Amino acid sequence: MDTDPKVFVISGPSGAGKGTLTEILLKRVPSLARSISATTRKPRPDEVDGVDYYFLTGEEFKKRIKSNDFLEWAIVHDNYYGTLRSMVEKDLAAGKDIAMVIDVQGAASVKKKMPDAVLIFIEPPSMKELVQRLKARNTESAVELARRLKNAEAEMMLAKNYDYVVINDDVNRAAGELVSIVEAEKAKN
């Protein structure tokens, strides 16, 4: 028998590997759909509108806040990010489990509105490793990099509010752990 669909919230500092781990998770757990967020951040060269994010102008985003279109929204690294209510409702109605890759403020809002949501925090093995990964990724300017590192420290302090913490020391190991958590939560009575 199918169980009720579940919401999984995945957070962690920029560069911890949330994106890569979530991609593996989505491939291994076919019932999971990733909620596509809206943002006012400019697209990175490899990002596609409607696939990675819905890229909106500040004006469009604020209009959608006024129309109550967001389940949650937050300002992260000086840009707006939000989860569209319609996206989540559509997937839940279709019986899909949902993976939301959102920041710590958004995770707290979702937990308040959906107490059954499962919160998973992805941590880098150390701050030193995080700095190296962010530099190697080379997608941010020096100013942006500094901002993301400063936020990382604040975010890591909030890991204790999460149901699970996965340390991304090795991608395959961490992905295996993430899949086990999701499968165990889905099998829970």
Binding letters toward ligand 5GP, positions 54-93, x by CB under 6 A: ------------------x-x-xx---xxx----------
Q: If DSSP states are collapsed to H, E and C, what string results for the chain?
A: CCCCCCEEEEECCCCCCHHHHHHHHHHHCCCEEECCCEECCCCCCCCCECCCEEECCHHHHHHHHHCCCEEEEEEECCEEEEEEHHHHHHHHHCCCEEEEECCHHHHHHHHHHCCCCEEEEEECCCHHHHHHHHHHHCCCCHHHHHHHHHHHHHHHCCHHHCCEEEECCCHHHHHHHHHHHHHHHHHCC
Nearer residue to ligand 5GP within complex by CB, 82 or 124: 82
- Kindly state the smallest distance separating residue 61's Cβ from ligand 5GP, in Å: 11
Nearer residue to ligand 5GP within complex by CB, 41 or 133: 41
Task: Tell whether residue 15 is a contact of ligand 5GP (CB under 6 A).
Answer: no
Task: Tell whether residue 102 is a contact of ligand 5GP (CB under 6 A).
Answer: yes
* 32 vs 147: CA distance, rounded Å: 32
Nearer residue to ligand 5GP within complex by CB, 28 or 41: 41
Q: Report the residue number whose CB is nearest to ligand 5GP.
A: 106
Binding letters toward ligand 5GP, positions 155-184, x by CB under 6 A: ------------------------------
Contact positions vs ligand 5GP (CB under 6 A): 14, 37, 41, 72, 74, 76-77, 81-83, 101-103, 105-106
